[in-house]
Each structure stands twice: as structure tokens, then as C-alpha cells.
């Protein structure tokens, strides 16, 4: 989906580069909310990777998985920042929330937490989509649909990992299916 998003942004950039079109204030707020959610989630994944590295240092794939997710969320946020600038909007970054450093009993609990975080983002994407549609900002609506599709795919991937963990064992790295995905 990164290719589609990049293509859409490049196409949009050419369209707005020379113009000073201002979009509805509500659309700017929607983009800023999403930027901040992605940055906050990136921070959460980075923190989780530190906690998991400390507790489960014998499983480097888990740390690598969380770091990769952190990088992906940060990349999505920077693309949205570029998009906001391209639309002549103002980027507003809020303080990152302090993370409750929960002790995870095992990787399954970690995956359950990740599922909850990503589900929350998906719900917010849906409400943002409805807000953009209400503003008749169809370009932003289309962009949000692509983010929702990516989010749905990632949620189903995490769900598959959780099901596999529940069936096999509590140790994420005893099952080759998950090990292959995370390493």
C-alpha cells in the first residue's frame, strides 16, 4: 500500500504545488490528529521494544518486529506531514503521552496490547473518514480509506499471530509461523 500512497501524494503534489488553495480547517485537524496518532503509536512500539528486549533478550525477532512497526508508523506520520504541507496546511504536533510501562507476562499479552492499539487507530480512522467526507474533502477521504485498508490487514495479521500463540504455546518463538513473520 505504500506504493499507492506515494503515487497519490506525488499526483496531488503536482496538482497543488503552484496553487495556494486552502482546505477546510476541519480537514487540517483530521490530518494532524492522524499524524499525532502515528507518532504516538511509533513511540509506544519503540518503548515496547525496549521492554521486550530487556525481558526477552533471547528473542531478537520480537524486538525487530516492534522496531519495524515503530519505523513504519513514523514513516506514515512523515508522509502525512508532507501531505499537509503540500495542501498548504499547518502541522500541529502535540506532546507524546507518557506510556504506562506494563509488565508483559509473555508475547501473547504483548500482541493483545498491540491489537488493542491498532484497533483504536482503526476506529479513529473511520471517524476521521466520516469527518472528511462530511467536509466534502474527497481526496482526504480516499487517502483515509487506504490507511483503513492497511490497518485492517495489519489487524488480521496480528489476530492470526494471536490465534497461533493461543493454540501452540505462550512462547512466540516456538512456532515457526510467527518466527518467520517477526524475524
For residues 176 and 183, what is the distance between their CA atoms, to the nearest angstrom? 10
pTM of the model: 0.76
Which residues, including other chains, have CB under 8 Å from residue 175's CB and lie 6 or more apart?
164, 165, 168, 169
The full set of domain ranges for the chain reads: 23-182
Q: What's the pLDDT at 163?
A: 86
Q: What's the pLDDT at 110?
A: 82
Q: Which residue, among 69, 148, 76, has the nearest Cα to 110 in the 3D structure?
A: 69
Q: Going residue by residue through the chain (183 aa), what tens digit of pLDDT does each one get?
A: 444 444 455 555 555 444 556 678 889 999 999 999 999 999 988 988 888 777 777 667 778 888 999 999 999 999 999 999 999 899 999 988 776 666 666 778 888 888 998 999 999 999 999 999 998 999 999 999 999 999 999 999 999 888 887 876 544 444 444 444 444
- Length of the chain, in residues: 183
Q: What's the pLDDT at 61?
A: 78
Cα distance from N-terminal residue to C-terminal residue, the chain: 21
Whether residue 118 is annotated as binding a ligand: the answer is yes
For residues 46 and 18, what is the distance between their CA atoms, to the nearest angstrom? 38
Q: What's the pLDDT at 121?
A: 92
Give me the long-range contacts of 9-17 (CB less than 8 A, separation at least 24): 9/79, 9/82, 9/83, 9/86, 12/83, 12/86, 12/87, 12/139, 13/86, 16/86, 16/87, 16/88, 17/86
Whether residue 101 is annotated as binding a ligand: the answer is no
Q: Which CATH superfamily is domain 23-182 in?
A: Ferritin, core subunit, four-helix bundle (1.20.1260.10)
Q: What's the pLDDT at 176?
A: 46
Q: What's the pLDDT at 11?
A: 53
Amino acid at each position: 500500500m505504500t506504493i499507492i500512497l506515494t503515487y497519490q501524494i506525488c499526483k496531488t503534489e503536482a496538482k497543488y504545488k503552484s496553487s495556494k488553495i486552502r482546505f477546510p480547517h476541519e480537514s487540517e485537524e483530521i490530518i494532524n490528529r492522524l499524524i499525532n496518532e502515528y507518532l504516538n503509536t511509533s513511540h509506544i512500539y519503540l518503548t515496547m521494544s525496549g521492554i521486550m528486549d530487556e525481558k526477552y533478550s533471547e528473542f531478537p525477532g520480537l524486538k525487530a518486529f516492534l522496531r519495524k512497526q515503530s519505523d513504519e508508523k513514523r514513516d506514515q506520520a512523515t508522509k502525512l506531514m508532507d501531505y499537509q504541507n503540500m495542501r498548504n496546511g499547518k502541522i500541529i504536533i502535540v506532546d507524546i503521552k507518557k506510556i504506562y510501562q506494563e509488565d508483559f507476562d509473555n508475547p501473547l499479552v504483548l500482541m493483545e496490547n498491540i491489537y488493542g492499539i491498532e484497533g483504536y487507530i482503526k476506529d479513529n480512522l473511520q471517524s476521521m473518514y466520516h469527518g472528511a467526507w462530511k467536509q466534502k474533502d474527497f481526496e482526504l477521504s480516499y487517502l483515509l480509506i487506504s490507511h483503513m485498508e492497511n490497518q485492517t490487514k495489519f489487524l488480521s495479521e496480528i489476530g492470526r499471530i494471536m490465534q497461533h500463540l493461543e493454540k501452540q504455546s505462550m512462547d512466540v518463538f516456538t512456532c515457526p509461523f510467527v518466527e518467520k513473520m517477526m524475524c
